[in-house]
A and B are shown apart, each in its own frame.
Chain A
């Protein structure tokens, strides 16, 4: 069964450093999403991305975050200057259509900011 893959599985970074999280969505999916889950909290929406543009973003997704599709297969989430509170699991998801279609998630990247 096709799946969403995320790399790395665990990233440890010093506070203030830039970090790039990578995702390969399911191949025929056109809509891409990033979520995060801080330890002990709910899964929270960050951003949705379609046709190389952000279609929706949450309050969490401030200027330090950016999302790109640098080639035909990868989708990346960049955090420019990491803070301690950015420590979380970051999940990538993709879907075929935008509405009334399930989003399929990768296994996540655990980001630890020291």
Chain B
């Protein structure tokens, strides 16, 4: 099942620079998208979400962009901090149901 895909398993960024995490989806019924951060031995922590009626949502250092025509979303973190080092998952759902479909995750490492 590859309905939500994160093509980069890992990303390394210098502290203070921008981190860009990408996510692609195939199901055109998806209309709500979320990003979660996960530390080892913890559950996914909700970061930010976006509805399909928008193309951008911002919350502090985190911005999510949605390109519906390309079925692509991205998470921008700026400036990146060492505490941002974690695995980031994108997830999607459709109004027809409430299940989340997750991508495989991208491990972000922010170097001091």
Contact = CB atoms under 8 A, between A and B. Distances in A.
Nearest to B97: A56
A111 to B, nearest CB: 14
Interface residues of B, number: 26
Interface stretch (A40-48, A63-71, A72-80): A40-48
Nearest to A55: B98
Interface in B1-59: 1, 31-32, 34, 36, 41-46, 49, 51
Contacts, number: 61
Nearest to A102: B46
A56 B99 contact: yes
Interface in B50-73: 51
Interface string A83-96: 00000000101010
A93 B99 CA distance: 11
A25 interface: no
Interface residues of A, number: 26
Contact of B98 (A33, A42, A108): A33
B42 A45 contact: no
A111 B70 CA distance: 39
Given A100-B32, A102-B49, A91 B43 contact: yes
Contact of B102 (A33, A43, A98, A106): A43
Contacts of B100: 33, 35, 43, 45, 103
